[in-house]
Amino acid sequence: MGGLAAFARPKIKITAAELWPVRATPRTVWLLISLRSDANIDGLGEASDAFGIYATTPENVAAMRAEINRQFPLLHNRSPFDIEHFRQSATLPNLLARTVHSALEQAMWDMAGKALDVPVYALLGGKVRDTLPVYANINRTAKPRTPAGFAATAKRAVAEGFRAVKLAPWDNFVDTEAYVEQGIDCLIAVREAVGKDVKVMTDCHSFFTVPRAIAVAKKLEPVALDWYEEPVAPERTADTVAIRRGIKQNMAGGEFLFEVKGFEPLCREKAVDVIMPDVKHCGGILEMTRIAAMAAAHGVTVAPHNPTGPIATAASVQLCAGMKNFRILELQWGEVEWRGDLVRPTERFHNGTISVPEAPGLGLTLNEDLARQHQMP
């Protein structure tokens, strides 16, 4: 079964939702949501980082379960094909609500694709590429967080075949010139370690003022950054425009923005060269297709934010397979050796790329035995 002949809207209803909080590291918990159906077809979505960039606590997990319970009545006994109804019926006042909603929406697409025996990308208009370039976010793996530590970590990622790396050397920000200079030194060390042919990006996590952002960017010019990400909060469009006009590097941002209206000011005002919608926060798969189309109309490329687990990566791959203005996909690299085994088939990267799967839905299932071994109480 496949193609248009299959689209007879299978009789399938969503019956339950389950949260899988999977502890990867003391910093990282992958928050995975499974939708169950009356047709023995499940759907998966990911809601990690629903509490911002901070470590997830048991209290956070309890809050997420409560939010799932709040939104689930909109799905109960409905078809997974009722995606637009779910979107238009939901009230989403904060990041937690938007992230849970986005994960449930991902799971609906996964279930719908599996019901029709087609990949999600086929439901979105098809694919134009079989593999996607991926960059290694080395930020959580680098130890110590010094120039030497970041340089050594970057070299390991490049040795695995990645041709682009990103780091955020100003995390745990200290408002001193010495701390700012150390971050600059980290980026210089990474460039020296990986050579001139590997792309290097940096995320500033909105820690800077406009003058400091411009001053830091000028000192980083020898690094030849592929992009300079969120030196100030992306909602501050005028400040972002001022920085972009004052520096030579490409600008990127938008990891926690929501819906087309959240990204439209950045694109309309030419504040960034690259937007970074996250399938976990922006409203889900359907909304990201609309965000990307709006960005394309303004000549802005899309590099989806994706510093989380394998389910969000799988959803992002389906989106990017056919995206006209796709640039590169993020991977939170090197956190745990068993990451790839959390899903079936095993998540694999080859020479800094990931293949677009041909299997139905998002192209995978959850390894529930391994998830239980690492489940957070």
**pLDDT band at residue 38 using 50, 70 and 90 as cut-offs:** very high
Residues 92, 191 share a domain: no
* % pLDDT > 70, the chain: 98
Residue with tokens 């992230």: 99
Q: What is the CATH number of the domain that holds 47?
A: 3.30.390.10
Residue 1: predicted pLDDT: 45
Catalytic residue among 76, 85, 101, 205: 205
Please tell me whether residues 99 and 162 are part of one structural domain.
no
Structural domains in the chain (count): 2
Q: Residue 132: its pLDDT value, please?
A: 98
pLDDT per residue as tens digits for the range 239-284 = 999 999 999 999 999 999 999 999 999 999 999 999 999 999 999 9
103 with 77, same domain? Answer: yes
> Angle at Cα 32 formed by Cα 28 and Cα 33, nearest 5°?
155
Report the pLDDT averaged over residues 275-294. 98
For residue 377, pLDDT beyond 90: no
Beta partners for 20?
32
CB 333 within 8 A of CB 162: yes
Catalytic residue among 76, 305, 350, 374: 305
Contacts of 212 (CB under 8 A, 6+ apart): 180, 231
User: Model confidence at 199, in pLDDT bands (50, 70, 90)?
Assistant: very high
Residue 314's Cα: distance from chain center in Å? 10
Boundary-marking domain end, from 77, 99, 117: 117
- Please say whether the beta carbons of 188 and 223 come within 8 A: yes
Same domain, 134 and 173: yes
Domain span at 250: 123-367
- Tokens (6 digits) for 336: 């745990």
What are the tens digits of pLDDT across the range 332-369?
999 999 999 999 999 999 999 999 999 999 999 999 99
Which pLDDT tens digit goes with each residue over 73-84? 999 999 999 999
In a domain, 372, yes or no: no
Give dist(CA 183, CA 147) in Å, integer.
8
Amino acid at the residue 111: M
* Distance in angstroms (rounded) separating the CA atoms of residues 269 and 331: 29
**Of 68, 84, 117, which residue sits at a domain end?**
117
231 close to 213: Cβ distance less than 8 angstroms: yes
- Confidence at 8, pLDDT banded by 50, 70, 90: low
CA distance 29 to 48: 7
User: Which residues 6+ apart lie within 8 Å of 274 measured at CB?
Assistant: 227, 250, 251, 252, 253, 300, 301, 302, 303, 327
* Whether 101 and 130 share a structural domain: no
pLDDT over 60 (residue 166): yes
Encoded amino acid at 178, one letter: A
Domain at 326, CATH number? 3.20.20.120
- Residue 223 is predicted with a pLDDT of 98
374 is a catalytic site residue: no
The answer to whether residue 350 is catalytic is no
Q: What percent of the chain has pLDDT over 90?
A: 94
On average, the pLDDT of the chain sits at: 96
Contact 279, 316 (CB under 8 A): yes
Please enumerate in sequence order all residues whose Cβ is within 8 A of that of 220, keeping only pairs 6 or more positions apart, or say none. 184, 187, 188, 202, 228, 249
